[in-house]
Amino acid sequence: MTTADVEGRDLQRHRKNDDVAESLPHHVAVIMDGNSRWARARGMPTSAGHAALQPALEETVRLSCARGIRVLTAFAFSHQNWDRPKEEVDFCMAVYNRFIQDNVAQFLREGIRLRVIGDCSRLPTYLQKTAQNAEEETSSNSQLDLMLAIGYSGRTDILQACGKLARKVHSKLLRPEDIDESLFADELQTSWTDEFPCPDLLIRTSGELRLSNFLLWQSAYSELFFTDTLWPDFGEAEYLQALMSFQSRDRRFGKRKL
């Protein structure tokens, strides 16, 4: 029996334990970090690390479906990553395009609905077209919402939400005093996923201990899980460890439990 099998069995036992504060998360977010370091450690070019992102992401999507996760948001490329060398950026865009193309048939079979979030206007035309086609093809699916964050910035997401609300106020469609957290959240890009726009669990690989401008508003009450594992090595055992860690957390949301 493999480590993943043991942890999978333990996870199921934890799900049946009434003493566990939470069951599995509805929404999992992942910061897929460490691809370049993974490649360097093997004497390979940076591009090899970015290419290795795809199988690890495919496995995470598969496991999320198998465990009943409702939303998976994957941070693929940040707004700040546009400042990297053009050759590296172009290769990353091709990887994301291939990921979508290679998996859209699987998305349809498994009931996965895709949405690309971030500043899509800066994406290559071919990637915009691939994403739009896949979003349209999978729009009726309801098993898992998969958000792929490319060129995404949490701060920009907040600013554009403010701008939308300001324009509604200016057009007298909304009064300033009516603005609350719910209305604000509705203007964020993750509101697309309807029922669970905020991650219950946020996972970051590679040993870095920060959010790096990812889902800043949405992660206010997320449980955080950091692992030294580099993203291309993130597999079933590591994912189950994160899920089991989540189940052991006591989520009070600022309240005192009596």
CA 50 and chain centroid, separation: 17
d(CA 195, CA 184): 15
**Residues 144, 71 contacting (CB under 8 angstroms):** yes
Q: What is the DSSP letter of 187?
A: T
Helices first, then strands: H and E counts in the chain: 9, 6
CA atoms within 13 A on the CB side of 54: 17
Cβ-Cβ contacts under 8 Å for 249 (sequence gap 6 or more): 21, 22, 223
Instruction: Specify the length of the chain in residues.
Output: 258
Active site residues: 33
Q: Mutual orientation of helices 53-67 and 86-110 as an angle, nearest 10°?
A: 30
Residues 6+ apart with CB under 8 A from 79: 118, 119, 151, 152, 153, 156, 213
